[in-house]
C-alpha cells in the first residue's frame, strides 16, 4: 500500500513552496499516493492552508481545484521548536491521531527541509520520542528520514551529523539526497556514454580537451538570506550538484548501471579531485538582502578549475561556473574534444563538442564539422540534437517528483552514500582554504569582469 504520512520539517521555507509541495501535488494528481496526510512543522506561527496557497504559482499545469481541496483536507500544521525535546511527545500523539482519522497505515516520511544544524537534534528527538522508530527493513509500516543537501557545512560537521543519525537509525531508513541525481537527463549521462560505442573510446585525456559544467541562475537568493549567507554558492551547489555531475562524467564503467555500482564509481572519482584555481563574485545588492550580513564576503558566483588525478583524466581541466542573478537560467555540461590535425586548406575553426543540457531544455547536442555548401572547401560546425521534450512531446518529470516517488517506493539508490558526501566536503574544504578573490558583479552579467583574467590565465573559453 503506497499510503504515506509526509512530515515536513521546515514547511514554511522556500523549498516546500517551490519544489516539495508542487511535486507532492503532481504525485497525488497522478495517483502515485493512494492515501496520505501532509503535516508541516516549523517555528513560525502559520497554517497549512496558507503555506499550500504560497505554492500555487509554482505549479506549472492547471490546478485541479477538487484535488487541491482534498489536499487541504488532509493537511495539518504543527508549530514546533525543533530543539525542544518535550514538544515531540505531543507531536507524536497528534501524528497518531491524524493517521487514525485518515485511516493511514503508519508509513512515515520525515523530510528535513531545515538547515543542517538541526539534522542531529531533530533526528535525536524523533528517535527518543518514538515518533520515528528504528527498523531493519523497508517493510511497511516504514519510517524513512530524508536529509536535504547540504549535509553539513564542512567535512567535520557532516561527519558529526552522520554519526549522530546513525546512532538512531539504520542506513536503509536514511536518505541523503541531491535532487540533481534524479533529473531525467542526468540519469542519461552514464547510459549514453556506456551504451554508445562512439563515446567511450574517446572518453579520456587523449581526446578530451576540457569539461565545463555551468549552473547559471537568473534568480537571486530569494528569501533565503540567512541560509545563503552562511553557505554561499560553493556549499549550496558546488559541493553537491556540480561535483556529483563531475563524478558521473568522469567515473569508470560500473559493473552494472544500477544504484550501488554507480555510487561506488562516483565515489572513486571524488576521491581523486584536486583544486587548481578559482574566482568568486558577489552580485551588486547582495549586502542589502534581508538576513545578509552587511559586511558579508559570501560568494554568489564561483568559477573553479579542478583536476582529476587518475590515469584517464590527468591533465584535463574541469571547469565549474555557477552564480545567482546571472543572465540566464541554464545548466549544461560541455565536453570539448581535442582539435584534429588539419588536412585541408581551410581548417575547421573549432573541434567537436558534446553538450548535455539539463535546464531549461533536456537533451544532448553534438557539434560536427561539415562542408559548407559550395565549391570552396570550407568547413562549418553543425549541431546534431536530441531534445527530450521535442522527441517525447512532454517535459521529463520534476526531479523532486521522481525523488519523492522513489523514496515512497523504498528505492534506496537515490540516497547519496556518506563517503561521497565526505569526499565532496574534502574538495570544498580545499576550495575554502585557497581563499579565492571575491569581486562584485552586476545583476544579469556573466559574472564579475575579473573572470576575464581567470579565463586568460587558463585559456578558458566558456561555451555557454
Q: Could you give the residue numbers annotated as active site?
A: 241
Choice between 236 and 422, CB closer to ligand BG6: 236
217 binds ligand BG6 (CB under 6 A): yes
Query: Alpha helices, DSSP H only, in 196-277?
Result: 225-233, 243-250, 259-270
Per-residue cell: 55: 505554492
What's the closest the beta carbon of residue 258 comes to ligand BG6, in angstroms?
Answer: 24
Q: Which helix (H) or strand (E) is 214 found in, with range? A: strand 208-216
What's the closest the beta carbon of residue 236 comes to ligand BG6, in angstroms?
Answer: 5
Long-range CB contact pairs, 346-349, < 8 A, 24+: 346/376, 346/377, 346/378, 346/379, 347/379, 348/379, 348/381, 349/379, 349/381
Contacts to ligand BG6 from residues 355-374, by CB under 6 A: 359
Beta strand pairing call for 318-323 and 301-308? antiparallel
Other C-beta atoms lying within 10 Å of the C-beta of residue 16:
23
Choice between 107 and 331, CB closer to ligand BG6: 331
Among 99, 236, 405, 446, binds ligand BG6 (CB under 6 A): 236
Contacts to ligand BG6 from residues 100-139, by CB under 6 A: none
Site string for ligand BG6, 372-411 (x = CB under 6 A): ---------------------------x------------
Choice between 220 and 259, CB closer to ligand BG6: 220
What's the closest the beta carbon of residue 13 comes to ligand BG6, in angstroms?
Answer: 11
Dihedral of CA atoms 410, 411, 415, 420 in degrees, nearest 10, equals 140
CA–CA separation, 297 and 367 (whole Å): 40
181 binds ligand BG6 (CB under 6 A): no
What's the closest the beta carbon of residue 403 comes to ligand BG6, in angstroms?
Answer: 11
In the bound state, the residue with its beta carbon closest to ligand BG6 is 236
24 φ/ψ angles, rounded to the nearest 5 degrees: -60, -45
What's the closest the beta carbon of residue 221 comes to ligand BG6, in angstroms?
Answer: 7
Picking from 20, 3, 10, 68, the residue whose alpha carbon sits closest to that of residue 40 is 10
CA–CA separation, 67 and 399 (whole Å): 22
What's the closest the beta carbon of residue 331 comes to ligand BG6, in angstroms?
Answer: 5
72 φ/ψ angles, rounded to the nearest 5 degrees: -60, -35
331 binds ligand BG6 (CB under 6 A): yes
Per-residue cell: 393: 512531446
Site string for ligand BG6, 5-24 (x = CB under 6 A): --------------------
Choice between 179 and 193, CB closer to ligand BG6: 179
Instruction: Kindly list the residues in this chain that would bind ligand BG6 in the complex (CB under 6 A).
Output: 217, 236-237, 331, 359, 399
Amino acid at each position: 500500500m503506497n499510503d504515506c504520512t509526509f512530515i515536513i520539517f521546515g514547511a514554511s521555507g522556500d523549498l516546500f513552496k517551490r519544489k516539495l509541495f508542487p511535486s507532492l501535488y503532481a504525485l497525488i494528481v497522478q495517483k502515485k499516493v493512494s492515501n496520505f496526510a501532509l503535516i508541516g512543522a516549523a517555528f513560525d506561527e502559520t497554517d497549512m492552508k496558507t503555506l499550500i496557497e504560497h505554492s500555487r504559482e509554482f505549479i506549472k499545469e492547471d490546478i485541479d481545484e477538487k484535488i487541491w481541496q482534498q489536499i487541504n483536507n488532509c493537511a495539518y500544521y504543527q508549530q514546533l521548536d525543533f530543539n525542544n525535546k518535550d514538544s515531540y511527545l505531543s507531536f507524536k500523539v497528534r501524528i497518531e491521531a491524524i493517521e487514525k482519522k485518515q485511516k493511514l497505515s503508519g508509513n512515515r516520511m520525515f523530510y528535513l527541509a531545515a538547515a543542517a544544524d538541526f539534522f542531529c537534534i531533530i533526528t535525536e528527538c524523533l528517535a527518543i520520542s518514538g515518533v520515528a522508530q528504528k527498523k531493519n527493513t523497508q517493510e511497511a509500516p516504514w519510517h524513512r528520514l530524508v536529509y536535504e543537501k547540504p549535509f553539513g557545512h564542512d567535512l567535520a560537521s557532516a561527519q558529526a551529523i552522520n554519526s549522530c543519525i546513525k546512532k538512531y537509525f539504520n542506513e536503509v531508513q536514511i536518505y541523503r539526497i541531491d535532487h540533481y541525481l534524479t533529473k531525467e537527463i542526468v540519469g542519461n549521462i552514464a547510459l549514453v556514454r556506456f551504451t554508445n560505442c562512439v563515446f567511450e573510446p574517446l572518453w579520456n585525456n587523449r581526446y578530451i580537451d576540457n569539461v565545463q559544467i555551468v549552473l547559471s541562475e537568473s534568480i537571486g537568493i530569494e528569501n533565503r538570506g540567512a541560509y545563503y549567507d552562511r553557505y554561499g554558492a560553493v556549499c549550496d551547489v558546488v559541493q553537491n550538484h556540480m561535483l556529483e555531475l563531475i563524478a558521473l562524467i568522469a567515473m569508470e564503467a560500473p559493473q552494472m548501471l544500477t544504484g550501488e555500482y554507480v555510487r561506488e564509481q562516483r565515489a572513486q572519482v571524488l576521491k581523486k579531485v584536486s583544486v587548481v584555481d578559482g574566482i568568486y563574485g558577489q552580485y551588486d545588492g547582495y549586502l542589502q538582502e534581508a538576513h545578509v550580513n552587511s559586511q558579508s564576503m559570501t560568494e554568489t558566483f564561483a568559477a573553479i578549475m579542478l583536476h582529476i588525478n587518475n590515469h584517464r583524466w590527468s591533465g584535463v581541466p574541469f571547469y565549474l561556473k555557477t552564480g545567482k542573478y546571472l543572465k540566464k537560467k541554464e545548466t549544461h555540461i560541455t565536453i570539448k574534444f581535442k582539435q584534429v590535425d588539419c588536412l585541408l586548406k581551410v581548417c575547421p575553426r573549432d573541434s567537436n563538442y558534446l553538450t548535455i543540457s539539463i535546464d531549461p531544455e533536456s537533451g544532448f547536442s553534438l557539434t560536427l564539422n561539415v562542408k559548407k555548401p559550395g565549391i570552396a572547401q570550407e568547413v562549418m560546425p553543425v549541431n546534431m540534437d536530441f531534445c527530450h521534450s521535442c522527441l517525447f512531446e512532454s517535459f521529463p518529470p520534476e526531479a523532486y517528483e521522481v525523488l519523492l516517488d522513489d523514496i515512497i517506493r523504498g528505492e534506496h539508490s537515490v540516497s547519496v552514500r556518506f563517503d561521497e558526501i565526505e569526499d565532496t566536503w574534502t574538495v570544498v574544504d580545499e576550495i575554502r582554504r585557497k581563499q579565492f578573490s571575491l569581486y562584485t558583479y552586476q545583476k544579469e552579467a556573466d559574472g564579475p569582469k575579473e573572470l576575464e583574467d581567470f579565463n586568460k590565465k587558463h585559456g578558458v573559453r566558456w561555451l555557454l
